[in-house]
Amino acid sequence: MAKGSYQVSAVPVTIFAHLLVIAVSTLVLVWLLYFRGGLAFKSQNKQKIFNVHPLLMVVGFLLPAGEAIMAYKSIPAKKEVQKLVHLVLHFIALACGIVGIYAVFKFHNEARVINMYTLHSWIGMSTICLFGIQWLLGFFSFWWPRAEQGTRAKYMPWHVFLGAVIFFMATVTAETGLVEKFLFLGLGKSQEALIVNFTGLLILLFAVSVGLTVVLPRSSY
């Protein structure tokens, strides 16, 4: 595309995305702490164990993964610094995702609920597995000192493509999880229902914002 075809830069979009991160995190915390009774890894109230799952999967996994993608456009630093932030944020997301998966399995086992029986769980498990593979491939392709330049160049388009696909899968997983919980709880027309619905809408806006930063230039022309 011609340079003149760009009318805006990625900067205002990344700022908007950062604000969405704050908004989504706030809504999730309000939902889990105020409406759902809090968080715990060990509790007689099994709902508290489950609550660790949406917190880590949204605030700990999805949002840092999106920030990692935007790092190349939102951080005014050398590319090596941007790459490091990209790597570290994705590692944090992966670690939180693994713990979040553990939390929901722990809840299901203690509450005697069947594991892996919904579309949400199938997409979610596929996402975390692909995310881990993608992180390892990225580490050994772009950070491992023995990786050949030719190999890095060939893998780069696939790394970008797969990263976008996995982030899209993570977004779908979050949305289906919110819908699933909405239906299981039978929220109907309530204040809690508004919190859940607005969380889903803001997650969608965040995903769109992250996608825009990929195609927009760092500065307008």
The confidence score (pLDDT) of residue 221 equals: 44
Topology annotation, domain 3-215: Four Helix Bundle (Hemerythrin (Met), subunit A) (1.20.120)
Let me know: does 69 contact 93? Beta carbons within 8 Å. Answer: no
Domain positions in the chain: 3-215
Name the nearest CA neighbour of 134 among 68, 72, 204, 214: 68
Burial tier of 182 (Cβ tally within 10 Å: 0-12, 13-18, 19+): middle
Amino acid code (one letter) for 149 = Q
Give the number of other Cβ atoms within 10 Å of residue 58's Cβ. 26
Please, which residues have CB within 8 angstroms of residue 115's CB and are 6 or more apart in sequence? 105, 108, 109, 121
What is the chain's Cα-based Rg? 19
Say what the pLDDT of residue 151 is. 76
Q: What is the pLDDT of residue 203?
A: 98
C-alpha span between 75 and 89 (Å, rounded): 13
| Structure confidence at residue 69 (pLDDT) | 97
* Tokens read off for 81: 């610094």
pLDDT 10s digits, 177-206: 999 999 988 888 889 999 999 999 999 999
Q: What is residue 161's predicted lDDT score, i.e. its pLDDT? A: 94
The pLDDT of residue 72 is 92
pLDDT along the chain (221 residues), means of 10: 62 95 98 95 94 98 98 91 95 98 96 94 98 94 78 88 97 97 86 95 98 83 44
* Confidence (pTM): 0.93
Look at the alpha carbons of 145, 148, 150, 151 in this order and tell me if their dihedral is positive or negative: negative
